[in-house]
Amino acid sequence: MKALLLLFVVFAALSASAQLTYQNLEVQYDSAIEYRNLKIIPITKKSAGGSPNSSFLTLGKAMQQGIVTVSERGTASTENVHWLRINNKSNIPLFIGSGEVVLGGRQDRMVTNDTVLVPNGRDQYISVMCVEEGRWSEKEKKFSYFNYANMRLRKVVDQSHNQVLIWKEIFNQLDSGKVKSPTFTYAGIRKDKKLLTLQEDYIRTFTERLKKTDSAWVGFVCVSGDKVIGCDIFDGSALFYDQLPSLLQGYVDDVIMKGSPPKASNEKVKKYLEPILINEESQAKHLKLNGKIYRYRDKVIHITGFGE
């Protein structure tokens, strides 16, 4: 009987640790960081328990270190535009996030699904969408990492998986920012000279302020104007901090192009987070239409909530 009771307690503890809900998360409203058009509210674990996820590589770091290669699957655009070949040369699982952008190849791409690629010495393939309408090069360029896209584009990609609608969203963003791009690439927004200084100012300011925080964040929810523009939450702080610079770039892109000084109340943020964090059933139902949940080995590793 005692053995069965112990087994039940262990199972209950493992089930709780697999959740990303209010059962084991706290939203630190009093520790929010705000600058210009962006407010970031940290989300932390209630206890130090659970996996820190230090055993994952991330795409940005792995590409920069040369231990992961990204290449085209083939030369025909009709057959290969929505796939990229990945070779993980390390002995560590590689986490790739939905919304991450890579530049080069025959055209720039954006990852469509969270995934973990285990190291097996073989080529593996990930699903992507084109974020550069006006180029399919005969010669394949070397791919480079370009952080996460902004939440508006991430939302369109996930909810439509329609290439025409993705190109339309990118065109609208370029047009609203008066950004000229010969190939209509999403990268044009981040490379535009008139926006570059402002982007660097945001990134530098938030990076410096984040260094002074004493909490082990596992995620955040972001506010601009009177709206919540999205949230990203991970199972452990190590994976979150590895992803933080890349995610931050995407949110900064969003508020530079279409943002205003934050004025949404904490109550409004709580209302946004309620269906995401109240319990697993509500979370699954809500994020099926308004975000994403990624599980790895029966454990929730990453959840994304789209903006209002």
Q: What number of CA atoms fall less than 13 Å from residue 97's CA on the CB side? A: 31
- Tell me the pLDDT of the chain (308 aa) as tens digits: 544 443 333 334 444 446 899 999 999 999 999 999 999 999 999 975 444 445 899 999 999 999 999 999 987 776 789 999 999 999 999 999 999 999 999 999 999 999 999 998 899 999 999 999 999 988 899 999 999 999 999 999 999 999 999 999 999 999 999 999 999 999 999 999 888 999 999 999 999 999 888 778 999 999 999 999 999 999 999 999 999 999 999 999 999 999 999 999 999 999 999 999 999 999 999 999 999 999 999 999 999 999 99
In contact, 86 and 60? CB cutoff 8 Å: no
Where do we find the tokens 């025959």? 106
**What is the per-residue pLDDT across 259-294, written as a single tens digit (0 to 9) for each?**
999 999 999 999 999 999 999 999 999 999 999 999
* Cβ-contact 299, 235 below 8 angstroms: yes
User: Residues 145-167: pLDDT tens digits?
Assistant: 999 999 999 999 999 999 999 99
Residue 65 exposure: Cα atoms within 13 Å on the Cβ side: 11
Please spell the DSSP secondary structure of 41-58, one letter per residue. EEEEESSS-S---TT-EE
Q: For the packed helices 237-258 and 163-176, what is the interaxial angle rounded to 10 degrees?
A: 60
How many whole angstroms separate alpha carbon 22 and alpha carbon 24?
A: 5
What pLDDT score was predicted for residue 8? 38
Tell me which residue of 239, 262, 252 sits closest to 149, measured CA to CA: 252
Distance (Å, whole) CA 150 – CA 127: 18
Distance in angstroms (rounded) separating the CA atoms of residues 105 and 64: 16
User: What are the boundaries of each domain within the chain?
Assistant: 23-306
Residue with tokens 């044009």: 188
User: Count of CB atoms within 10 A of residue 23's CB?
Assistant: 14
Coil/strand/helix, residue 188? helix
